[in-house]
Chain A
Amino acid sequence: MSNTSPNPPGYQLPEEHYLNATYGLRSWLLTTDHKRIALLYLASVTFFFFVGGIFATMIRIHLLTPAGYLVTPETYNKLFTMHGVAMIFFFLIPSIPAVLGNFLVPMMIGAKDLAFPKINLLSWYIYLVGGGFVLYSFATGGLDTGWTFYTPLSSVYSNSAVTPAVIGIFINGFSSILTGLNFVVTIHTMRAPGMTWFRLPLFVWAQYATSIIFILGTPVIAITLLLAGLERMFHLGFFNPALGGDPILFQHLFWFYSHPAVYIMILPAMGVISEIIPTFARKPIFGYAFIAGSSIAIAVIGFLVWAHHMFLTGESTYAALAFSLLSYLVAIPSAVKVFNWTSTLYKGSIAYDTPMLYALGFIGLFLIGGLTGLFLACLGLDIHIHDTYFVVAHFHYIMVGGAVMGYVGGLHFWWPKITGKLYPEFLARMAAVILFIGFNLTFFPQFILGYLGMPRRYHDYPPEFQVLNVMSSAGASILALGYLLPMLYLTWSMRYGKVAGPNPWPATGLEWRTPSPPPTENFDETPVVDWEPYDYKNRPDLGLATPTAPTLAPAHGDD
């Protein structure tokens, strides 16, 4: 495969690497190499992204006219439910941890693999089985409960295929738990000599924080959905008031996981951004300890804010006050990250390669997503905007503007490492810009729709909301182009891209000190770390200019 493209002078693909070490379907399906498992996940999460994306496309076409353009109310309800389930449980949650995290965590800490390689493969099979159940639900009656599965609608009243879906999500939970466990053990026990906690790349800190949520949160959602399934199948009264249950109990249990799940989606993306920015500014990240600490703070405080989804369920006023205050508290570490990323640019040597465009786009979109979270955490304002399109816009800014931008940016950033090839730079920059514009056009109008009072999950809406809905649908078509382009040229580049070399940017992490693509065992010999993270000054091996004394004269920052 190394002969199909003209190699730039100086770079050759390595003779043997993890992709060509063994051949055949068996060698992939039974692999315990974390890098190959990452690629298995890449294929499967991309499949679910497509499934969820098709549902999203149909939703936006349907909403072109107030009375609904495309489908019946039943079908519309199934579309947004299945869009949410596919995207959240089978794309967003596994995307960065299971694809990029799997590939990178061992390499970044200088290890040969994860601590439990076979369990890592098992996670992927569990994911497939869970995904299979959910696809079975989609294919045999669909699912119309909303991804939130609120009882007693889901446990009693819905006529759709709820049971296989909750079984699928229950099973899939174990995949997350095992991945989290694997990461925590790996990060604790398998760091290379010299790789102290405060030399860890911030991506690893983010994965560590995410893993904590995986391990502590996922069991709760798994059990909660199982209880809803038991109530549906055997009429056991957990949540149905007619059987002596309490529907609000379900919401407490559901959000106890599902709010931290938002941080499962966004924390790894923040980790990606924390890698990209210092690389393309060629300087250490500003406030390393604050960015690392804020990841842990978000993971911990994130467990204490769940009932802010329930301000209007009739929960006690005192509970609402406490949860609102805690929600504001969790906003602070996010703000700290944004300020530190921005400050990292100061006096940098900034290049505008595609990953950097994604990182800057991430900051902008995450800023809007985060700030509008303050609106929803505000008790008085939430009375009006709760359960409207304002919420829909807010969480898409976080999950799509934040998590997906981080994921796609990260894929570009590590693509040369994963495949050994470079993607076409110009096309990639275009796609990043298209994605950014399309995204804003799709979701910004939804903030206004929400404040004007359009409730979410409506297949039919008052005519005065049409203009903004048409804008949103038009934006979605641009957004779709922004996603299709990378899928096409990244696939193309696997065969025809230029050979990247071990460290094309160059970046400072350990994963860049090994050939691209890396050998199966990652490193020929265990690396020893004797430099601080993101240090360009003392790294002659990167082949960059070392600044002369005058440029080091006391800068504004305190070094």
Chain B
Amino acid sequence: MQSQLPFYPEQASNFAPSVDSLMTFLILVSIFFSLAITAAIVIFFFKFHRKSKDEIGVPIHGDMRLESTWIVVPGLLALAMFAWGAVVYVDFRHAPQDTLDIYVIGKQWMWKIQQPNGRREINELHVPVGRDVKLVLASEDVIHDFFVPAFRVKMDVVPGHYNTMWFRPTKAGHYQFFCSQYCGTNHAVMGGWVTAMEPSDYAAWLSGSTGENEDPVTAGEKLFAEKACSTCHLGNGTGRAPSLNGVYGGTVRLADGSNVTADEGYIRESILFSNAKIVAGYQPLMPSFQGQLTEEQIMSLTAYIKSLQSQPVPATGAGVVVPGKK
């Protein structure tokens, strides 16, 4: 549905029309109630104004039918608003499969962005039209927020957490983005521009990269060896730590019997706070990497682990607890 609002920013993503439709619905409901109440006040104001100095009003103490009406009707309208809003939000919070993942790091007061092939940008973000794009957001210091009004999307960028947001650009163009969570002195100028390009232009732009940038997967692979992750996380499952093949996107069974979905946030937590969630059948042997990796290094490692998409390997390694032997 095309929005008819006179005051709205350009619609340039899949979310723009749905958010604008919600806005239109809520504005119509609001106008209806505002007009009804205002009309009642104005009419009563003139019709029942005091005619003589000592006149009193007609005592009316209430009316149960009216009370129930104005509890039930606004209640139902509120439920409709809630439900419609929930549908849009749940869609926004659950990225589809096979997204184009772009890493975004906020720090006082700039945005560092890395494309899948490693091309880096500062305060600029290039995205292809028609493709589902997922931003993986991290902060090096305080809380920021990545806000693109033309896409009607924003998400807080919280230190110590990974947040993700997704959108599908629908219209090529140049759109401003802002930091929308107050982050200190230069908060107001911590913004930049999103360039939505036709897929072929985007591909050309990506390949125009000077080549000095390593892509995050390669950088992550090097780090994986450098930090000695590879000595335990053997690809064939025989190491002291679980194999990471195919772990991303799947469900991991933990030592306490619960299950978690292995998303970016889980991978990040497992690197930094290695004992927070122990995989079932393994010992808590891994050292914590808290404070030893930059946000960019964590993102590279995450990208590398996500790239290990061969079949999961059964755990048979040295870290496995053999039942009965303690």
Contacts and interface: CB of A to CB of B under 8 A. Distances in A.
B81 to A, nearest CB: 5
Contact of B86 (A363, A380, A545): A380
Contact of B33 (A281, A313, A367): A367
Contacts of A312: 145, 154-156
A301 interface: no
B318 interface: no
A152 interface: yes
Interface in B74-97: 74-75, 78-79, 81-82, 84-90, 92-94
A514 B184 CA distance: 54
Interface of A: 73-74, 77, 144, 146, 148, 150, 152-153, 156-158, 241-242, 244, 246-248, 281-284, 286-290, 311-314, 317, 320-321, 324-325, 328-329, 331-332, 335-336, 338-340, 342-343, 345-352, 360, 363-364, 367-368, 371-372, 374-375, 377-384, 386-388, 448, 451-453, 455-462, 535-537, 543-547, 551-552, 555-559
Given A74-B185, A157-B108, A152 B159 contact: yes
A545 B50 CA distance: 12
A452 B147 CA distance: 12
18 contacts: A152-B141, A241-B159, A241-B161, A246-B160, A281-B48, A313-B156, A321-B86, A329-B78, A342-B44, A345-B45, A349-B51, A371-B30, A382-B85, A383-B15, A453-B150, A455-B178, A557-B63, A559-B61
B82 A347 contact: no
A282 B63 contact: no
B100 interface: no
A148 B142 CA distance: 14
Contact of B56 (A283, A313, A379): A283
A247 B159 CA distance: 8
Given A535-B59, A536-B59, A547-B56, A384 B160 contact: no
A552 B41 CA distance: 23
B185 A73 contact: yes
A543 B89 contact: no
Contact of A462 (B63, B176, B179, B181): B176
A456 B187 CA distance: 10
A64 B137 CA distance: 34
B166 to A, nearest CB: 12
Given A349-B55, A383-B19, A375 B86 contact: no
A348 B37 contact: no
Given A150-B182, A347-B58, A374-B78, A383 B158 contact: no
A325 B82 CA distance: 6
A332 B209 CA distance: 56
A351 B44 CA distance: 11
Interface of B: 5, 7-9, 15, 18-19, 22-23, 26, 29-30, 33-34, 37-38, 40-41, 44-45, 48-52, 54-64, 66-67, 70-71, 74-75, 78-79, 81-82, 84-90, 92-94, 108, 141-143, 145, 147, 149-150, 152-156, 158-161, 163, 176, 178-189, 290-291
Given A157-B184, A383-B19, A557-B61, A378 B85 contact: yes
A380 B48 CA distance: 43
A96 B74 CA distance: 29
Contacts of B19: 380-381, 383-384
B82 to A, nearest CB: 5
B49 A352 contact: yes
Given A324-B82, A380-B92, A283 B176 contact: no
Contacts of B34: 367-368, 371
Given A351-B49, A453-B9, A313 B158 contact: yes
A328 to B, nearest CB: 4
A343 B48 contact: no
A243 B270 CA distance: 17
Nearest to B64: A558
A335 B161 CA distance: 39
